[in-house]
Chains A and B, each alone.
Chain A
């Protein structure tokens, strides 16, 4: 029981979500019968095969100098692919750009979204629902429609070919969903906690930072994780914003590698696979670190309006 539940006597969604992510202790019951064991493991095998086989290929291709499109035990095992991407393809620069942009976007998003989510949650207007709906429905805008006007807009504002442009636009894309997510989290934190702090003489801002935000930490964690992942993966906006080689991010390098295919030669699967493996590492780190948080976040977000 969290302090909140103890204080209010109600189980918050967050509490439910926390319960949902802690694995129930294994029951000391009769061992599963052999038939059951086989069936379950067959099902497991099928599922794992379906979901992991593509990655198996990726690994085998990344370590193979003569990689091709099918899974093979590396014909010519090598780590040269990984070396090549840094020496011949300037991958270090591209990777650094991606890291910088994703981290900066994450910070900007967390700041903006926690402020907006809190404000939206505490806002006391009759038509508040309309605002919430509007924010949510912004997500229905198809991105291919906004690409051309964003090009013109970014050019006029001098945001093309700049880190600032990338960060601002990557952040903007994630806002609708994450604002809604954070609003849900803040909704589940009862107001009387900060109201008590106000009566105590603290300013609203301090109350927010000292009392409310710590309680919303799981939500912030999710928002940060999702913001990072989305900025890490964004490609369409990068196409629109970046022409210069030294500002490219990994998704753009990938997109071009697949569409360019090196002039007269075919796709260099090994090299691109090596890029993909390195590109995937932060994703896996973020995901494994935050997996429980993510479930809680997703559960809360589909709680309904």
Chain B
């Protein structure tokens, strides 16, 4: 037994020594100008400014590990296409693709565990909203030096670039931007006596339409799905709480950057939740594992009447039955407290990152470039409908000819974005707790709003929270 323990200690010591020497090598002048050297960049690189290797445009060799989650089955062929392009261009390089058929949340947790223990892929694919926390953790490589030498970067408008900038640097490459619609089933609403081209006159209008559907007693039709609680994951914030907050004139942060808890707008949002969960929105949302899967499917086949969800979900319904979807699924922007549909929630979408622990950053960058050509970006986002991040990608015929894609891209002009603040993931946790209490009927709206301030304080500390 002693022998084995001794061996383990020796091995650990060996790993420590090699890590230290790698840092020493990487910090030496020769390493900076030859990014394809074996030494990895210092793990503690600061987020500001590009301390990564400068792209030399030289030959890329070695293995490039690419890891991404995909459940819908749309991305793999493009990822393979990009991998093939890289291998064709650089014969000495190999691309290893690790496709994980798991949900985004599970993929993210596993990725963090790997990055935390010092390993992980060279290239990975997670939401752009994680930029802040990933950069703060020094897990990702700043891309300024790479994009400054990339001609295609000029195709990305300023608003898109801002979405992936944090503390002055660019951290990820987006390709399909997020926007959301308020979907409604024309057939279900008509059966409830509403117009075929229904539009809510204001936020209350959504509840009124849902109530009409409920009173029409259509079999097997759920009136409305409003995400709440931890089960809804980020959807509880982005597809429910946040647009409602904005609709009622509230903000997530005040001008000094503090997160707002209780406020008049927050109270109104909680009151809205209480009304929604009083017979209109199903309580199963609170306990299902991935409620959005079921809710999206139900809207697609007519068993759900109203849902505020991602624009990309439309693609799933259209690919199953294009004609029926076009006929029966309507989509409008989100209304405000006193006005009709006028805004939506935008986001940078899922993006491609380079790990700061990568030993083949140049190769990783080549893959990202290959994955983000105008052709791939356009085609991928035509199949999995998102407005494109680079404007030339919208010029491909598949994109221009689809009225849905055109509408989604136009709607982006009316999108409001959440700030890429690393604290946002903690705010989402607090939102989940607070909405769950109202939805489950434990607290009334005013008390729930007050507890929301407490939850925010618990998660972020009193100095970052305020109430109005």
Contacts and interface: CB of A to CB of B under 8 A. Distances in A.
Interface residues of B, number: 28
Interface in A123-171: 148, 151-152, 155-157
Interface in B57-115: 71-73, 98, 100-103, 106, 110, 113
Contact of B12 (A148, A156, A265): A156
B148 interface: no
Contacts of A152: 116-117
B290 interface: yes
B101 A151 contact: no
Interface string A251-264: 00000101111111
B289 interface: yes
B102 A266 contact: no
Contact of B296 (A151, A258, A262, A264): A264
B297 A260 contact: no
A76 interface: no
Interface in B373-404: none
Contacts of A157: 8, 11
A261 B117 contact: no
B406 interface: no
B290 A261 contact: yes
B73 A261 contact: no
A243 interface: yes
Is chain A's interface secondary structure helix, strand, loop, or mixed overall?
Answer: helix
Contacts of B101: 256, 260
B256 interface: no
A155 B12 CA distance: 11
A148 B117 CA distance: 10
Contacts of B118: 155
B103 A264 contact: no
Contacts of A256: 101-102, 106
Nearest to A240: B113
A157 B9 CA distance: 10
B15 interface: yes
Given A155-B117, A155-B119, A156-B12, A261 B98 contact: no
B289 A259 contact: yes
Contact of B15 (A156, A243, A260): A156
Nearest to B72: A263
A258 B106 CA distance: 12
B410 interface: no
B294 interface: yes
A259 B113 contact: no
A6 B118 CA distance: 63
B159 interface: no
Contact of A259 (B8, B12, B103, B297): B103
Nearest to A263: B71
A263 B15 CA distance: 40
A259 B290 contact: yes
Interface string A221-261: 00000000000000000001001000000000000101111
A299 to B, nearest CB: 34
Contact of B71 (A148, A243, A258, A260): A260
Given A243-B100, A243-B110, A262 B71 contact: yes
Given A151-B113, A155-B117, A264-B72, A259 B102 contact: yes
A44 B435 CA distance: 45
B316 interface: yes
B28 interface: no
A243 B102 CA distance: 11
Contact of A266 (B71, B110, B297): B297
A264 B292 CA distance: 9
Contacts of A266: 293-294, 297
Nearest to B319: A264
A289 B255 CA distance: 70
A15 B71 CA distance: 57
B296 to A, nearest CB: 6
A203 B290 CA distance: 61
Interface in B275-303: 289-290, 293-294, 296-297, 300
A261 B289 contact: yes
A260 B104 CA distance: 10
Nearest to B98: A243
Contacts of B73: 263
Contacts of A261: 289-290, 293
A266 B316 CA distance: 13
Contact of A151 (B103, B117, B290, B297): B117
A156 B11 CA distance: 9
Nearest to A154: B117
Contacts of A156: 11-12, 15, 117
Interface in B34-52: none
A262 B296 CA distance: 13
Given A151-B113, A243-B98, A259 B106 contact: yes
A258 B103 CA distance: 11
Interface string B1-34: 0000000100110010000000000000000000
A14 to B, nearest CB: 31
Interface string A286-297: 000000000000
A148 B113 contact: yes
Nearest to A243: B110
B117 A260 contact: no
Interface in A55-111: none
Interface string A153-193: 00111000000000000000000000000000000000000
20 contacts: A152-B116, A152-B117, A155-B118, A157-B8, A243-B98, A243-B110, A256-B102, A258-B289, A259-B102, A259-B290, A260-B102, A263-B71, A263-B73, A263-B316, A264-B71, A264-B296, A264-B297, A264-B316, A265-B293, A266-B294
Interface of A: 148, 151-152, 155-157, 240, 243, 256, 258-266
Given A260-B103, A266-B297, 8 more contacts: A152-B117, A156-B11, A243-B100, A256-B106, A263-B71, A264-B71, A264-B293, A264-B297
Sorted nearest first, the 7 A-B pairs with minimum C-beta distance are A263-B71, A264-B316, A263-B72, A152-B117, A155-B117, A261-B293, A151-B113
